Amino acid sequence: MPGYKEHLVGGAAAFGITFAIIGSCCSSRLTAGEWLLCSLLGSLFPDVDIKSKGQKVFYTILLFVLVVLIIKQRLDLLAGLSLCAVVPLIVRHRGIFHNALFVAALPFSVWFLLQSVFPDYKHIVFYDTLFFVAGAISHLILDRGLKRAFFIGR
């Protein structure tokens, strides 16, 4: 079973493959770095449901976001995000967070919500989401192999 370092390598590979396909949309090295970061975060995401580096990273980011929401007095978003933060703690490992459909649908659902709140940033967040999902899929492939990651030939 790969550790977080192997998953980060997989996330970097997913970035490379995705960038090779849509890299013409990239406007700068800063954007490419942003996409690499999204791929790396995505590669750790499926392990958010166990004590792991991924969980530590995501809950650290979550704490920062919650503090910003408190400062901005966005209690509606604070409440919703707080409820979502509990889910990884109550599901079994390699359950929903290791389902390819879920790791694609959840980030794109977040993108859908964010683009309606921040329409000026919808394209930026779309590409970030795309690279995040590519990284998350790389995690599933490393854990289960290509066929089992997508539940093919069960």
Q: What is the dihedral of CA 26, 131, 51, 74, to 10 degrees?
A: 80
In terms of residue numbers, what domain contains 19?
4-50+92-149
* Residue 87 located in a structural domain: no
Identify whether 23 is part of a domain.
yes
Whole-Å CA distances, 82 to 26, 63, 68, 111: 33, 10, 13, 18
Task: Tally the C-alpha atoms within 13 A of residue 144's C-alpha that lie toward its C-beta.
Answer: 21
Asked whether 103 and 97 are in contact (CB, 8 A), the reply is yes
pLDDT for 84 equals 84
Q: Is residue 72 part of a domain?
A: no
Assigned domain for 108 exists: yes
CB atoms within 10 A of CB 6: 14
The answer to the question of residue 140 being in a domain is yes
State the pLDDT at residue 129: 96
- Tell me whether residue 37 is in a domain: yes
User: What pLDDT, on the 0 to 100 scale, is given for residue 6?
Assistant: 94
Does 24 reside within a domain? yes
Q: Residues 52-56: contacts with CB within 8 Å, 24+ apart? A: 52/4, 53/4, 54/4, 54/7, 55/88
How many domains does the chain contain in total? 1
| 141 in any annotated domain | yes
Sequence-distant (6+) residues with CB within 8 A of 138 are: 7, 10, 11, 13, 14, 39, 42, 43
Contacts of 66 (CB under 8 A, 6+ apart): 78, 81, 82
Residues of the chain short of pLDDT 70, as ranges, are: 1, 146-154
Quick count: other Cβ atoms within 10 Å of Cβ 97? 23
**pTM for the whole structure:** 0.85
